[in-house]
Amino acid sequence: MSDFLQFRALSKGYPGVQALADVSFGVARGAVHGLMGENGAGKSTLIRLLSGDQRADAGDILIDGSVQTYASVRDAFEAGVIVIHQELQLVPELTVAENLWLGRFPARAGVLDRKRLLSEVGARLRDVGIDVNPSAKVASLSIGERQMVEIAKAVMLDARVIALDEPTSSLSSKESEILFSLIARLKARGTVILYVSHRLDEVFRLCDSLTVLRDGKLAAHHPDLSRITRDQVISEMVGREITNIWGYRARLHGEVRLKVENLSGDRLPRPIDFEVRAGEILGFFGLIGAGRSEMTRLLFGADSRRTGRVVIDGRAVAPDSPPASIRAGLVLCPEDRKHDGIIQSRSVEENIAISARRLFSPFGLVQPRKEAELADRFIGQLRIRTPSRQQDIVHLSGGNQQKVILGRWLAEAGVRVLVIDEPTRGIDVGAKSEIYALLYDLAAAGMAIVVISSELPEVMGITDRIQVMCGGQITRQFERAAYDEREILSAAFPDTRQSLP
């Protein structure tokens, strides 16, 4: 079977970085092809070239035997190529229907045919099994719902090639199954699916073939995924053996460092209580919509509380005030790194130093030398892969962006509580191990850590204790010695807590 999509000797460089070097492989018509590699391996660059967002320095992309010469994303779109990026491309202030029809609105006599727009979108969404109101503004949707709208947009178009970049990173189990069904239908009609993911179980379930990139080069190409093992893929990705990704380390726990009492808000109406000891890593697990992220925003003071108080080392933190939380020693690495965690228009140096400036900038005067020293320290300590501290953070991989956010908080004086929401979302195996090791080091030094994750293996692998949330409340608590995957999942489902098959 000849390859319908071909990458031929692709190379692409940026200042200080060779992102791709002579990469060649092909994908057959109607195949689901996995693309894996650590953050910074070159996956995102290859996707940008495929989408027409950037042009290669050398090499070609061929579709059905024809060399593609894209001058823009629109050229790729018209050639039948659709890329669904991990960082979503929807317009928040437009409705779902308007986003799905963007650039090709139905009109009658030059006037927008809104009735047709809504009816066709509603029918298409129902057809693909997505329960979203076409009239709702995208800004009102959860991250998971927005992801499904992006996927629906691709399905609605007659694409020849669809690239999915970490498509399930924000989806619930139910939404993921809908996606997998859609992929099967697209495959049956001959669409090429390029599936970029760090989730090995998904890759082995869905993909027919696989390419692994490492340091911008082709590390391996497997035409038949059934002939290789998961351990082999991990070794190809990182260039070394990783036998235990979690690397859990037991620690002594001290006195209660964080105490949360009767906490509630508009988006979390049922009060919750919990506490975390110095040196402890407490996990929160739940499905999308369980209230985990809402709880973190109340905890950090980003959302207004209805009731409750947050106490650190016996002292109450002022409500509804992130600056007060930071001064009290409670910091947050948010779920949505792009919109809530990083300052996209700023450099790595500025993103690390911005919160700590008040500690060494009297009267608000920036001290460039001290900021540079601070950035260099944490770039080295956290092994942040960047050409320089002046690199715009938006060009870093997700794993390195997460490290920058951690570096920002480590630069703070007196951090006692670290809350980290989806710590390794969209992050490769090697970077995950590094972040877990950092969390263990921080806990061993006496920090109380709260980890919120929708990945059950992760939350079981790295925590000392788990609180399970469902319907905006804590349903059960599990000590590490009693971790049981079936019981934890059962507590996370609203209607099947005692009867999960």
Query: Rounded to 5 degrees, what angle do the CA atoms 25, 31, 34 make?
Result: 60
Residue 59's pLDDT is what? 95
DSSP-derived 3-state class of residue 51: helix
Domains of the chain, by residue range, sit at 3-238, 254-329+415-494, 343-413
Burial class (CB in 10 A: 0-12, 13-18, 19+), 289: middle
Which long-range contacts link 495-500 to residues 24+ away (Cβ below 8 Å)? Answer: 497/470
Provide the residue type at 68 as one letter: Q
Residue 242's pLDDT band (cuts 50, 70, 90): low
Residue 429's pLDDT is what? 73
What integer is the mean pLDDT of 428-454? 89
> Is residue 373 pLDDT above 50, yes or no?
yes
> Is residue 500 pLDDT above 60, yes or no?
no
Burial class (CB in 10 A: 0-12, 13-18, 19+), 338: middle
Distance CA 192, CA 80 (A): 10
Q: When comparing pLDDT for 361 and 201, which is higher? A: 201
DSSP-derived 3-state class of residue 362: helix
Residue 328's pLDDT is what? 92
Same topology, domains 3-238 and 254-329+415-494? Answer is yes
Residue 445's pLDDT is what? 93
Residue 112's pLDDT band (cuts 50, 70, 90): low
What integer is the mean pLDDT of 13-23? 84
Residue 135's pLDDT is what? 85
Domain 254-329+415-494 of CATH type 3.40.50.300: yes
- For the chain, the distance separating the N- and C-terminal CA atoms, rounded to the nearest angstrom, is 41
- Lowest model confidence (mean pLDDT) among 49-58, 144-153, 329-338: 144-153
- Fold held by 3-238: Rossmann fold (3.40.50)
Residue 273's pLDDT is what? 96
- Lowest model confidence (mean pLDDT) among 18-27, 29-38, 376-385: 376-385
Distance CA 106, CA 90 (A): 19
